[in-house]
């Protein structure tokens, strides 16, 4: 019985790599250069993927993951070290409080909720990173929140399929 | 979203949040106010280089397939154009060699050393640009292995392009003159009036702190004054395109266009002088 339990835990920790891989994919996708300034209307995938895992895996708090991927984002985007780490932590922490209630909502309601959450993300980015004060004058920068809400069902479906196939709980 | 071990928040979670935020803030302050994090940033940047290389792949593939689809007629036309350019350039090269020799003789006569020593120049190639459309940062293919250091001035064939912002082993990031964080002390070539040029985050520059008592007009060339000890003096930076006076202000509102082809240059020159500080350049 003990061996079985140990094997189960190994299997689970092995599957946690998938969580990190999806987040790494998000960082990779975010670092792709967009040729048009309308490209900034496409939201960062990393916070969206992070929010999905926070909601889906209610047994972890993901604060360290948020911090680590924030630092990675800072190096990639030449923002001050710790800036995005702070933004991601500020984004994840309130989500930890509401994630259990969110499970009873419909996908459409969660999408709207994600839109509001990503608006807060854009607001934090605009307030904390001086270089983005200029980006804030562009409507496309704020549209990213709306696009996040529209994209959420797709992201949700893909990640849920991955999670179910990998038996991540 | 089922999770059998769903749990409510504990004080451990709260403390972890507070610790993560505090650490982030400390890192931000250290990175902003000191140079201590430069080494860590360099290591992290080198570590994530494979990741950036992967991110560049789709863009490179699109570029390569576009190139493969270029038809023969276009290539022939391009070859003819290039042949003509080679002829013109070789003629210009001969002329410039004569001018260089004449310049050297005159400098020797004046007893003034060359401001930019040719042996201290290195040619780099722009390989990428910042994924953030609101930052004016490009990446070049020279890094610490080529003795590149933070703060080194970068030029193209026309004038000052920017300054090395961060370096990793193989590559470096260059903050362009048009970035909003870039400030360069300059002087107006025609009158000698001094001011500070700041990027507007797009393609233009603004000349600041030039009193309305100074004489400036459209077409004036701005060059580095060399006052900050960071750039050698006399490097062309920008050309004035618009001069306005604002009611109640004692300074001109001057817009200028960078003389360096920051959007199209591929080869850049790095001035390999003594190590330079980068206190004023913050990302």
Chain A's closest residue to B7, CA to CA, is: A59
Is B18 at the interface with chain A, CB within 8 A?
no
| Residue of A40, A33, A55 whose CA lies nearest to A117 | A55
CA distance B46 to chain A (A): 10
Tell me chain B's radius of gyration from C-alpha atoms.
24
Give the span between the Cα atoms of B38 and B166, in whole angstroms: 8
Do B159 and B236 form a contact (C-beta atoms < 8 A)?
A: yes
User: What's the topology of domain B183-258?
Assistant: Thrombin, subunit H (2.40.10)
Is A42 at the interface with chain B, CB within 8 A?
no
The domain segmentation of chain A, as residue ranges, is 2-165
- For the complex shown, is ipTM > 0.85? no
The CA-atom distances, in angstroms, between B55 and each of A50, B21, B251, B266 are 20, 29, 45, 20
The domain segmentation of chain B, as residue ranges, is 13-68, 183-258
Portion 81-120 of A in contact with B at CB < 8 A: 81-83, 85-86, 89-90, 93, 96-97, 100, 103
Is B28 at the interface with chain A, CB within 8 A?
yes
Per-residue pLDDT for chain B (283 aa), expressed as one digit of tens each? 444 455 677 888 889 899 999 999 998 888 878 777 777 778 888 887 887 777 777 667 766 666 666 667 778 888 888 988 888 888 788 788 878 877 776 665 454 334 555 457 788 888 888 777 778 889 999 998 888 988 889 988 778 899 998 888 888 999 999 988 888 999 998 888 888 999 888 788 998 888 888 888 899 999 988 887 788 888 889 999 999 888 778 888 899 999 888 887 778 888 886 534 333 343 3
Is B24 at the interface with chain A, CB within 8 A?
yes
Indicate the helix (H) or strand (E) that contains B186: strand B183-188
Region class of A28: left (phi > 0), else alpha (psi between -120 and 50), else beta: alpha
Give the span between the Cα atoms of A80 and B99, in whole angstroms: 46
CA distance B143 to chain A (A): 16
- B-chain CB neighbours of A63 within 8 Å are 13, 16-17, 20
């Amino acid at each position: 019985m003990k061996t079985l339990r140990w094997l189960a835990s190994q299997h689970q920790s092995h599957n946690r790599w998938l969580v990190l891989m999806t987040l790494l994919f998000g960082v990779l996708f975010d670092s792709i250069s967009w040729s048009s300034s309308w490209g900034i209307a496409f939201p960062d995938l990393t916070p969206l993927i992070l929010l999905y895992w926070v909601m889906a895996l209610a047994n972890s708090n993901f604060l360290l993951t948020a911090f680590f991927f924030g630092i990675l984002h800072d190096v990639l985007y030449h923002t001050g070290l710790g800036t995005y780490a702070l933004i991601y932590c500020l984004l994840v922490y309130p989500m930890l409080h509401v994630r259990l209630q969110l499970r009873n909502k419909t996908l459409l309601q969660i999408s709207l909720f994600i839109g509001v959450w990503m608006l807060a993300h854009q607001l934090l980015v605009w307030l904390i990173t001086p270089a983005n004060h200029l980006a804030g004058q562009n409507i496309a920068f704020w549209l990213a929140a709306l696009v996040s809400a529209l994209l959420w069902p797709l992201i949700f479906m893909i990640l849920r399929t991955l999670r179910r196939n990998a038996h991540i709980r | 979203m089922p999770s059998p071990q769903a749990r409510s928040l504990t004080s451990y979670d709260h403390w972890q949040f507070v610790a993560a935020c505090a650490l982030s803030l400390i890192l931000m302050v250290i990175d902003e106010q000191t140079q201590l994090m430069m080494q860590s940033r360099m290591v992290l940047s080198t570590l994530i280089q494979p990741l950036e290389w992967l991110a560049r792949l789709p863009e490179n593939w699109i570029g390569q397939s576009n190139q493969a689809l270029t038809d023969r007629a276009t290539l022939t036309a391009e070859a003819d154009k290039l042949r003509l350019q080679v002829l013109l350039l070789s003629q210009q090269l001969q002329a410039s060699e004569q001018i260089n020799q004449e310049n050297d003789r005159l400098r020797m006569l004046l007893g003034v050393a060359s401001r930019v020593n040719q042996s201290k120049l290195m040619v780099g190639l722009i390989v990428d640009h910042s994924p953030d459309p609101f930052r004016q940062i490009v990446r070049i293919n020279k890094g610490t292995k080529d003795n590149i250091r933070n703060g080194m001035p970068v030029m193209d064939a026309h004038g000052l392009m920017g300054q090395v912002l961060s370096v990793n082993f193989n590559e470096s990031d260059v903050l362009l003159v048009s970035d909003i964080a870039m400030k360069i002390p300059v002087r107006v070539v025609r009158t000698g009036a001094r001011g500070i040029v700041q990027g507007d985050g797009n393609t233009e520059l603004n000349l600041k702190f030039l009193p309305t008592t100074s004489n400036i007009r459209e077409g004036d060339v701005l060059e580095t004054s060399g006052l900050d000890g960071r750039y050698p003096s006399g490097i062309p930076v920008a050309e004035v395109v618009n001069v306005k006076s604002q009611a109640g202000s004692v300074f001109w509102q001057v817009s200028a266009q960078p003389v360096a082809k920051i959007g199209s240059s591929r080869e850049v020159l790095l001035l390999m002088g003594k190590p330079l500080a980068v206190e004023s350049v913050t990302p």
